[in-house]
Amino acid sequence: MPRWTGDWLSGPQHTLRELRAPETWQGERLGLPREGTGSVASFSARAAAFAVDVLLAGVVSGMINAFVTDPTGTQRQVAAYAVLGLEHVLLVALTGQTVGMRLMSLRVVRLADRDRPAPGLVTALLRTVPLLLTAGLAAFFGRDGRGLHDMLAGSAVVRA
């Protein structure tokens, strides 16, 4: 006689990755390769790069706040967001990478013009504002591995 917990306690028989057709991959609809340089970056690599950027912004904003006499909590938060926003806008617009992305070997590409080394100021602004408003929440990622901010900007984060 089978145990009454045998069906549901053992978990699903197939993972979500196995349910996806074997001939498809993240980024295929975008014309990106399956693996290697130019393929869609994994969520864990993107999260690690964002964590590095947040830590760096915290250190730099702490140094800025050291020159302010008795900064309020709001001033500290605004300084941290301003540093993080400036880093993302300027570095992505000029080089296609933030400091965290460079450490994780990632870069931002504009899907309409992948040959350009950097996506440009408009694309950087379009992807940074929603990124900061959602604080990089993972719940807004689509099936191509792009975040809401990348979908709005027409960009993707790929392996460098």
* pLDDT, mean of each 10-residue run, the chain (160 residues): 55 55 77 88 91 95 90 90 95 95 95 86 91 68 82 90
Burial 67-95 (b: 16+ CB within 10 A, else e): eeeebeeeebeebbeebbbebbbebbbee
Contact partners, residue 93, CB within 8 Å, separation at least 6: 118, 119, 120, 121, 123, 124, 125
The residue extents of the domains of the chain are: 38-159
Query: pTM of this prediction?
Result: 0.80
Whole-number pLDDT of residue 43:
86
